[in-house]
A and B are shown apart, each in its own frame.
Chain A
Amino acid sequence: MRARLLLAALGAGLIALPQFSGNYVLSLATLALYFAFTGQAWNVMMGFAGQLSLGHSLFVGLGAYAAAALFVKFGIGPWAGLWLAMAICVAAGAAIGLLAFRFGISGVYFALLTIAFAEFTRIGFDHIGWLGGPGGLFLKVGQRTSWDLADLRGTPAMFYYVMLALTAGAFALCAWLLKSRAGYYWQAIREDEDAARALGINTFRWKLLAVAISAAMTSLAGVFFAFYYNNLFPEQIFHISQSIEIILGPIVGGVGTLFGPILGAVLLTTLADSLTNLVAAMGLDIPGVKQVFYGVILLLVIMFLPNGIWPPIAKRLGLGRKD
């Protein structure tokens, strides 16, 4: 059908991208995919299970530091490291979820709780000397001409493909989840938790599952972050602005949809980049322009298109509601 054809065309284009674009475009595309991936991960918690998290930077940071520490301190590569990263993040997410849901914390209070945990961790990591403290943790920047998938050292194209694989995987996972029992139950919980309980749904357990999946996915973004940027600072990676950047894609694109986070991330990344280039071209160097742009877009979307920009586009393209 239409949807499958469009998807196939998109997929082919994405795979072929490195063939006809330079490193700059590749790095931009990688960034867009990074936010598409993290946005999709966040979407599982918010769009599917209805829990607003403004502290997702916690999982990026924990995942990044876990994998980076294993690599820098013990020489263990990212493919083993990611398991520790996921385990730690699932534990953290489960702890937050357990506390929050047991005590009936939801809505804005839940969001504040996630922020508090992220901030607490940010300042905490500043004090962990073994992981570099405020000065940061650094990975040795490897050679850039060949691919070393085992240690994730390589060309921009390699990183692009890794991120593409992650994003495609996330997309497939979410598509499967949406149609599964989990998808139905999560939507029921989102719509009316009491009615869901009356139908035999253990809402506590299912909400916790959403948090765990979201945390595990986000941890992988952290692992990627560590090996792509090769430096980690608590101030940066756990910062609330990271959490806000993560939610931008899904909110602009469409919370709860499959394509929304991807569309939102791609749009925002390319527009922000154009804006930054425009400002630079005018000879100005103004920090903060990009963030103001994000804020304005977020404001406009939440005011006029609260369901995101994907749903009306999907309608035009004649695609189903859940797409």
Chain B
Amino acid sequence: MSASLVANVVISGLLTGLVYGLMALGLSVIFGVVRVVNFAHGEMMTVAMYAAVLLFGAFKLDPILAALPVAAVFFVIGYALQAGLINPFITRPEHSQFILLVAVATIITNVMLMVFGPDAHSVQTDYQLDSWAIGQIIVDKSRVYAALCALGTTAGLFAFFRFSRTGTAIRACADNHLGALIVGLDVKHLYALTFGLGAACVAVAGCMMTLLVEVAPSVGPSYTLLGFVIVIVGGLGSMPGALLGGVLIGVSEAMAGLFIDPSAKSMFSFALLIVVLLFRPQGLLGRRT
């Protein structure tokens, strides 16, 4: 086991982790603001992946370019989902909300199964097999592009929440629902906006993911659970936490795949989830609700 092999694996894990982080970011934003645990998150990402595959198949559109239109569509769908379906559930007990999204997730996964069949599909870009060599380290071009895109989107989101009026309004909602209402903010609209943004994040992450792995209907639940592991480890409701968690999970999964059995790497993630849930449920950077 040479140092360069380990380095390769770590870097590869880190880059993948950034894409994971973007996906988890969407989940974290939705929970942090709307307080809804989006159990259909991974399924939404799977739909985005299929969209990227279809666009590539039909128009030879590179997933990186496809990210923009797909994200726009997902934004609208996310907005509608929150405003139409999920909103009445904000006041219902937690269990009801959760089960609502479990139902949505089940429907999405199986509609995809019906439409696309159980087999895997993937995207084959021109640069799929290209890589750069930096000394002993070999870095896949597609991985770097995906990671850069993820970083860019994340930065954009951070900036939106930090500097824009709407972003600040959303943060106000998250901090104090009643206060926001009293000040006259249209909370329902802002919640829907947030869900739309979260969905858009997931869409971009999904498009990026097609550069790295293949898609099948069954990956939906796995990504949902992965998203939860990341968000809980990093801290539910914390944006930097989601990114940090993503990178951590990306790297540790890669390492676990290297040192233990590759097929056992998700076991490691679940064990980590259990440990974090028990000992530090607010995660590394989150705040205790």
Asked whether, in the complex, the Cβ of B94 is within 8 Å of the Cβ of A288, the reply is: no
Q: Give the interface size class of chain A.
A: 35 or more
B228 close to A (CB within 8 Å):
yes
> CA separation between A287 and B267, bound complex, in Å?
28
Interface residues as binary, A276-315 with B (CB distance below 8 Å gives 1, 0 otherwise): 0000000000111101101110110011001000000000
Asked whether, in the complex, the Cβ of A105 is within 8 Å of the Cβ of B111, the reply is: no
Q: Which of B102-110, B160-168, B197-205 is the contact stretch?
A: B102-110
Given contact pairs A240-B221, A306-B96, A120 touches B107 in the complex (Cβ within 8 A): no
Asked whether, in the complex, the Cβ of B99 is within 8 Å of the Cβ of A298, the reply is: yes
Q: Which of B178-237 contact A (CB under 8 A)?
A: 217, 221, 225, 228-229, 232
Chain B residues within 8 Å of A103, by CB? 277-279, 281
B104, B228, B278: most-surrounded residue (chain A CB, <10 A): B278
Asked whether, in the complex, the Cβ of A288 is within 8 Å of the Cβ of B267, the reply is: no
Chain A residues within 8 Å of B91, by CB? none
Contacts between chains A and B (CB distance < 8 A), count? 112
Asked whether, in the complex, the Cβ of B100 is within 8 Å of the Cβ of A292, the reply is: no
Q: Which of B109-127 contact A (CB under 8 A)?
A: 109-114, 117-118
B153 close to A (CB within 8 Å):
no
Shortest CB–CB separation between residue B59 and chain A, in angstroms?
27
B37, B106, B112, B264: most-surrounded residue (chain A CB, <10 A): B106
> CA separation between A49 and B179, bound complex, in Å?
35
Asked whether, in the complex, the Cβ of A124 is within 8 Å of the Cβ of B267, the reply is: yes
Shortest CB–CB separation between residue A235 and chain B, in angstroms?
10
Chain A residues within 8 Å of B98, by CB? 52, 108, 111
Chain B residues within 8 Å of A117, by CB? 270, 274
Asked whether, in the complex, the Cβ of B103 is within 8 Å of the Cβ of A299, the reply is: yes
Q: Which of A120, A288, A298 contacts B102 (CB 8 A)?
A: A298
A137 close to B (CB within 8 Å):
no
Asked whether, in the complex, the Cβ of A120 is within 8 Å of the Cβ of B267, the reply is: yes
A184 close to B (CB within 8 Å):
no
Interface residues as binary, A113-128 with B (CB distance below 8 Å gives 1, 0 otherwise): 1011101100110110
Asked whether, in the complex, the Cβ of A116 is within 8 Å of the Cβ of B100, the reply is: no
Given contact pairs A107-B95, A108-B94, A287-B113, A298 touches B267 in the complex (Cβ within 8 A): no
Interface residues as binary, A90-113 with B (CB distance below 8 Å gives 1, 0 otherwise): 000000000110010101110111
Given contact pairs A292-B114, A306-B96, A109 touches B106 in the complex (Cβ within 8 A): no
Asked whether, in the complex, the Cβ of B264 is within 8 Å of the Cβ of A244, the reply is: no
Closest chain A residue to B37, Cβ basis: A108
Given contact pairs A115-B225, A120-B267, A295-B107, A54 touches B96 in the complex (Cβ within 8 A): no
Q: Which of A100, A109, A113, A126 contacts B263 (CB 8 A)?
A: A126
B102, B111, B112, B114: most-surrounded residue (chain A CB, <10 A): B102
B85, B95, B221, B264: most-surrounded residue (chain A CB, <10 A): B95
Shortest CB–CB separation between residue B238 and chain A, in angstroms?
16
Closest chain B residue to A118, Cβ basis: B270
> CA separation between A123 and B269, bound complex, in Å?
11
Given contact pairs A287-B118, A289-B114, A292-B114, A127 touches B99 in the complex (Cβ within 8 A): no
> CA separation between A117 and B112, bound complex, in Å?
27
Chain B residues within 8 Å of A298, by CB? 99, 102-103, 106
Shortest CB–CB separation between residue A120 and chain B, in angstroms?
4
> CA separation between A135 and B281, bound complex, in Å?
36
Q: Which of A46-61 contact B (CB under 8 A)?
A: 46, 52, 54
Shortest CB–CB separation between residue B202 and chain A, in angstroms?
19
Chain A residues within 8 Å of B271, by CB? 120
Chain B residues within 8 Å of A299, by CB? 100, 103-104, 107
Chain B residues within 8 Å of A111, by CB? 98
Given contact pairs A111-B98, A288-B110, A306 touches B263 in the complex (Cβ within 8 A): no
Asked whether, in the complex, the Cβ of B111 is within 8 Å of the Cβ of A292, the reply is: yes
Asked whether, in the complex, the Cβ of A105 is within 8 Å of the Cβ of B264, the reply is: no
Interface residues as binary, B250-284 with A (CB distance below 8 Å gives 1, 0 otherwise): 00000000000101101100110110011101000
> CA separation between A74 and B274, bound complex, in Å?
34
Asked whether, in the complex, the Cβ of B109 is within 8 Å of the Cβ of A291, the reply is: yes
Chain A residues within 8 Å of B264, by CB? 123, 127
Asked whether, in the complex, the Cβ of A288 is within 8 Å of the Cβ of B96, the reply is: no
> CA separation between A219 and B118, bound complex, in Å?
30
Asked whether, in the complex, the Cβ of B278 is within 8 Å of the Cβ of A302, the reply is: no
A268 close to B (CB within 8 Å):
no
Q: Which of B73-95 contact A (CB under 8 A)?
A: 85, 88, 92, 94-95
Chain B residues within 8 Å of A115, by CB? 225
A217 close to B (CB within 8 Å):
no
Asked whether, in the complex, the Cβ of A105 is within 8 Å of the Cβ of B96, the reply is: no
11 A–B contacts, CB within 8 A, in A order: A111-B98, A112-B277, A113-B278, A115-B225, A120-B267, A123-B267, A124-B267, A127-B264, A251-B99, A292-B106, A298-B106
Going nearest first, the 5 A-B pairs with the smallest beta carbon separation are: A288-B113, A295-B106, A295-B107, A288-B110, A291-B110
Q: A116-B277, A117-B270, A291-B106 are in contact. List 13 more A-B contacts (CB 8 A).
A: A100-B278, A103-B278, A108-B94, A112-B273, A113-B278, A115-B225, A117-B274, A126-B263, A289-B110, A299-B103, A299-B107, A302-B100, A306-B92
B residues within 8 Å of A by Cβ? Answer: 37, 85, 88, 92, 94-96, 98-100, 102-107, 109-114, 117-118, 217, 221, 225, 228-229, 232, 261, 263-264, 266-267, 270-271, 273-274, 277-279, 281
